[in-house]
Structure 1
């Protein structure tokens, strides 16, 4: 954490409740002094889907595309100058700050900077700096909670006029530059620590998966930590050799039934909870909070120990399996899922690990039949795939040992994820404190060493580089004009 930051020597009442006290020499001004604001234009469906024109046309959903974490560079739609004129869409310059202005997206308080000239749709608003320090303006816009200024009602919304009048604290031009410099330095270091924590999580997860893979494929007897005494050819090329006493069987032999789900569409008004592919997460079934259908054949309800197999989806998701371990009644499942009930000779949790192992998944997905937008892996093709299984007592012993070995790994992963959350919270709080004048960073900023550009920093991954890049050919540290509108 960054220490030794002191408050300013004198403060005054800002006259704005949510700002509170601000440094005595700072001004309190409406946002219209710093930038002009304009909403986007309607974007009819028949103009969407063209990615070959010269002007990006951003929608709120584009803010979530990987690579667009700070700077909007990737888009799903473009328009020509002629089409933009026909739509009455403003072409905003590079460096424009954009954000959602209506609905639930407004409450997320996401802010992005357009890397190039662009248009935006009518669910978004643009903020264009008045020949000034766009990075400082971006910081100011980022800490403002637009939700507290939004019009009340079932669908929150905010207008250009309302945004223009929001009052913010404004330091001098030199101080703006110092604040941007300090926060850029601080964010780099926080991102560096977060990246190291992410790397630790990735390595731990890889180690955990390798441990599970070795156990459920018989490469290592986890009870002894050594290979089994004797192996035999499985007769299946991709399985290779397996422990001599293990049985090689088709998947269908491990289950007493493999049943299709219901074909009715779910609705929030139903009393029976309907599981879909989205409820299969990390090998477990996540129970939805609300119901889905009113009636269903009792034979298509789930019981603890049932496995659900995703037979139809994208090539990356088909073959996904999850274990229904809790008891929440009644629960059913959609038609593109298959319920598989293990035989009494097998442990459901062990089968779940085997079927979700990378070697089994990759082989299963090779059996899927590709179609226009998805892959299909019916139970017949899936059921013919072979797996190797130890006796039930050994399955139980392996599961117990794996639980013991992975418990500490899971605890460290959870603690590391919490560290990342705290670091992000700290970063958000630091930005707010600095930009609102709660702490004085001028002296610290003046002593900071010069550092390489973000794209040259070897510790950054692609996502972090996208968040930290400066705009090519743009002067990001010019001062904000104080001319009124």
Structure 2
């Protein structure tokens, strides 16, 4: 992988480009053996792993000073891990590819990172910006790999523009002013989205408790919901919907003569089902009626980080099925699946399922729990009347969110373009 192949924008550089290893010492890290418990005692050395990438994702943090895990002197001495000095530049190269930062103190890293100790011809902060300029290119290349990894031989070939150290410092100072300015705009837009989503949830909460519904009110018996109209019964989901888990995955799922697309947890987002990356599984004729998803079915995530997340299937694919990590709720006709969707959305926002879930490492909303879960179910005509107004408001909110997300995308592109232009000399950094 040559520099030109990875990052064509390097050809626009005002300055010559050089492999990073010519001006900075390349290294990496390691994980001390977990088979030796003594290596994991008295751990005092900060150790950067993929668990720390969350600090780097939004590009607002240049320096890492704290890590989730630490290793011991003994573990360091008995592994290929290296104690790198403060000021070392790091790049994540496995799984979460392309995130970079500078070590704020002496640290080690796992093998998931490349490291550079900068020599006299390059400023660490300039190298950081140059790596961030090529981050989209690194992710694009890694996306084609099963393990999403940039291998060390390719890391060795990475090139950057190399202006004088004085010019590097001017670039760093320029970006030190401009990038925070852009980040403030991005933060304001994200806050707007958060507020719109909070308003949407508040509307849904008011709707499912009949806040604007006239008449006497009584305690719903649900601590998270409060009072509801007296005429609204609180009933189990199973009284209104047929709840069924999907097909369990197995090693033979991609064999057989009845391969069909199926939906999994990754496809089911809130109020949206994504179908760009469908997988196939064998569904013999004897299983199709049980596991087929029909238009109007509500799919609900069973476990993981998203118990209760749900969306209604719109029938965009004529024949599709679903796996066991999803529940399918099909209405008996007495209640709307949209009503159940909003009940689940509000309950999920109040962490109801985490509180009531199984005491395991992952919270699960089992079939029995979902079927027995109680929500207010007024007459279908009342549901439809309330939903009509609620859906109009929700659609307006969605349009606003889409517009703001488009702005976020454009602003983020602007930030990326500015970094690229600065490190290649395409913008006058003395004019700020």
For residues 154 and 84 of structure 2, what CA distance do their matches in structure 1 show?
Answer: 19
Query: Does the C-alpha gap of structure 1 residues 359 and 388 become closer, same or farther in structure 2, counting only changes over 3 Å?
Result: farther
For residues 140 and 233 of structure 2, what CA distance do their matches in structure 1 show?
Answer: 66
Query: Does the C-alpha gap of structure 1 residues 159 and 180 become closer, same or farther in structure 2, counting only changes over 3 Å?
Result: same
Aligned partner of 1:452 in structure 2 is none
1:121-163 C-alpha deviation (Å, 9 max, x unpaired) = 3443211112553212222233246759989x96875546973
Partner secondary structure for residue 162 of structure 2: strand
Query: Does the C-alpha gap of structure 1 residues 37 and 123 become closer, same or farther in structure 2, counting only changes over 3 Å?
Result: same
1:80 aligns with 2:72: yes
Partner secondary structure for residue 369 of structure 1: coil
Aligned partner of 2:402 in structure 1 is 414
Deviates more, 1:401-410 or 1:73-82: 73-82
Q: What is the CA-CA distance between 1:304 and the residue it aligns to?
A: 1.8
Name the larger-Rg structure. Answer: 1
Residue number among 100, 106, 118 corresponding to 1:129 in the alignment: 118
Partner secondary structure for residue 442 of structure 1: coil
Aligned partner of 1:462 in structure 2 is none
TM-score by length of 1: 0.73
Paired residues of 2:47 and 2:110 also in contact (CA < 8 A): yes
Paired residues of 2:29 and 2:80 also in contact (CA < 8 A): no
Partner secondary structure for residue 293 of structure 1: strand
1:195 aligns with 2:187: yes
Paired residues of 1:65 and 1:74 also in contact (CA < 8 A): no
Q: Say what the alpha-carbon RMSD is for the aligned residues.
A: 3.5
Residue number among 141, 161, 164 corresponding to 1:168 in the alignment: 161
Q: What is the CA-CA distance between 1:295 and the residue it aligns to?
A: 2.5
For residues 407 and 351 of structure 2, what CA distance do their matches in structure 1 show?
Answer: 34
Deviates more, 1:278-287 or 1:176-185: 278-287
1:388-438 C-alpha deviation (Å, 9 max, x unpaired) = 223223322322222222222221211111111111111111111111111
For residues 40 and 242 of structure 1, what CA distance do their matches in structure 2 show?
Answer: 58
Partner secondary structure for residue 171 of structure 2: helix
1:321-347 C-alpha deviation (Å, 9 max, x unpaired) = 432332535433333433222111222
Aligned partner of 1:140 in structure 2 is 130
1:388 aligns with 2:376: yes
1:306 aligns with 2:297: yes
Paired residues of 1:266 and 1:293 also in contact (CA < 8 A): no
Aligned partner of 2:236 in structure 1 is 250
Paired residues of 2:209 and 2:376 also in contact (CA < 8 A): yes
1:239-295 C-alpha deviation (Å, 9 max, x unpaired) = 44323443332222111x222332333778362334333333114443463334212
Aligned partner of 1:478 in structure 2 is none
Paired residues of 2:52 and 2:68 also in contact (CA < 8 A): no
Query: Does the C-alpha gap of structure 1 residues 27 and 356 become closer, same or farther in structure 2, counting only changes over 3 Å?
Result: closer
Aligned partner of 1:459 in structure 2 is none
User: Matched residue pairs, number?
Assistant: 410
Identify which of structures 1 and 2 has the higher relative contact order when contacts are C-alpha pairs closer than 8 Å and 6+ apart. Answer: 1
Aligned partner of 1:179 in structure 2 is 171
For residues 34 and 252 of structure 2, what CA distance do their matches in structure 1 show?
Answer: 27
Q: What is the CA-CA distance between 1:110 and the residue it aligns to?
A: 2.6
Query: Does the C-alpha gap of structure 1 residues 286 and 46 become closer, same or farther in structure 2, counting only changes over 3 Å?
Result: farther
Paired residues of 1:319 and 1:365 also in contact (CA < 8 A): no
